[in-house]
A and B are shown apart, each in its own frame.
Chain A
């Protein structure tokens, strides 16, 4: 694996291998010395053109646990705010000897441009591009589901037969897109539930079923309910009348939580809008995996960086 740009590129074997490596990486957090020497002397650049705390910090912790040097670069306070292009930024980083670039960008496809352009000879990790993909989030979601279901016997397994219902703003969600491809590759069934205004014009090419009624989806008793954040920064058009209306129709409140089977996991990629798409009761219940997702994010990102950087042999 040279880059990680999209979960669509991952085969089932590759995906399971990444999850298995992440299992090994998870053990590092419990050790006396929380560090592996594996990527000593490698440089990882966090190139963030959009705001982020958890993803950036998660990548930073992951790289540091593998002994790589980390350079954080955010658009604010850099030459990008003076109008520097992506090409010049990339070439600058290349001249400084970056081995991997973790990029978040508001434009879909920016990581792909960086990977294919030849401006920089480094492994590219997509940390979220526009409304396109966020592959490491999907990997950590899959990892969290697998761990909850199979515990210590997770290694080597997919998610065959697991039913996952993704609820909320599918239209703008890169998390949803990455999850749809990855979870399907791993054998899960994905259902989307959203107001029609927050679904893409066509989901014909997607391996999913689509519903508009959260109550019906809850009563179907899925194994996993994944709530998406209502992204206030992207709510430019009138997608729904108002927040209370959305919350009543498509929010996971305490009453709907009570109707879910006791084994159903409640996931949220964060940051949560408590009281909007998810109630505090649901977010803090034992069924919620929100904090596990954050912890697992570090393990997954370690696995990804290990795959991209440990070998000097180009496949």
Chain B
């Protein structure tokens, strides 16, 4: 099956800018915000959102980090050994902060379940929100995103492929195949 492009570079940039504004609106500013990207691509999206937040709200210094969920997954036994990625929590920790989890594609919700477990071992945030570039449906757990770049109705045999210039060659793009 050939890949069909659903979001291009400019679309992704607009979506991230809108998400940033929505985050600031719901949080009433950038105070006590911590963005945690879920490896691999969520980390880069979190950094981009963090940069946008800091340009919109010039007083802001939003903490950006990464949260690896490998050790908390419920499918480890069903797959070959997975190599974990680094977890990097910004100085100041997450206690009492509003943590925004950032992921590229929201699908079954199991990754986010693992992320919530991982978070609770690291501290006690005041609130946890979820931002996803693409929500493709097919949830298997009662989890929803607070900030969504694009809702993409898919069938479960389709594949969503997110490419980001930080680690993939070429321009940013989201394709469906």
Listed in ascending order, the chain A residues whose CB lies under 8 Å from chain B are 1, 17, 20-21, 23-24, 27, 31-33, 35-38, 66, 155, 306-307, 310-313, 315
Contacts and interface: CB of A to CB of B under 8 A. Distances in A.
B140 interface: no
Nearest to B84: A24
Interface residues of B, number: 20
Contacts of B28: none
B71 A37 contact: yes
Given A38-B71, A311-B76, 15 more contacts: A21-B84, A24-B84, A24-B86, A31-B121, A32-B123, A35-B121, A37-B117, A306-B71, A306-B81, A310-B77, A310-B81, A311-B81, A313-B77, A313-B79, A315-B80
A32 B117 contact: no
Contacts of B76: 38, 310-312
Nearest to B94: A32
A24 B122 contact: no
Q: Which of B76, B81, B83 has the most CB of A within 10 A?
A: B81
Nearest to A311: B81
Contacts of B81: 1, 306-307, 310-311
B68 interface: yes
A66 B72 CA distance: 10
Contacts of B87: 24, 27
Contacts of A315: 80
B77 A311 contact: yes
Contacts of B117: 37
**Chain A residues touching B, majority SS:** loop
A307 B77 CA distance: 11
Contacts of B123: 32
A21 B108 CA distance: 26
Contact of A313 (B71, B80, B84, B121): B80
Interface of B: 68, 71-72, 76-87, 117, 120-123
9 contacts: A20-B83, A33-B122, A37-B72, A38-B72, A155-B86, A306-B81, A310-B82, A311-B82, A312-B76
B130 to A, nearest CB: 21
B72 A21 contact: no
A1 B80 CA distance: 10
Nearest to A17: B83
Nearest to B73: A38
Contacts of A32: 121-123
A37 B77 CA distance: 13
Contacts of A38: 71-72, 76
A315 B81 CA distance: 9
A103 B87 CA distance: 32
Contacts of B121: 31-33, 35-36
Contacts of A31: 121-122
A315 to B, nearest CB: 7
B77 A36 contact: no
B83 A311 contact: no
A307 B84 CA distance: 11
Nearest to A27: B87
A265 to B, nearest CB: 24
B78 A24 contact: no
B67 to A, nearest CB: 11
Contacts of B77: 310-313
A133 B126 CA distance: 50
Nearest to B78: A312
Nearest to A314: B80
A311 B78 CA distance: 6
A66 B84 CA distance: 14
Given A32-B121, A36-B72, A38-B71, A311 B80 contact: yes
Nearest to B117: A37
A313 B86 CA distance: 24
Contacts of A311: 76-77, 79-82
Contact of A21 (B78, B83, B120): B83
Contacts of B83: 17, 20-21
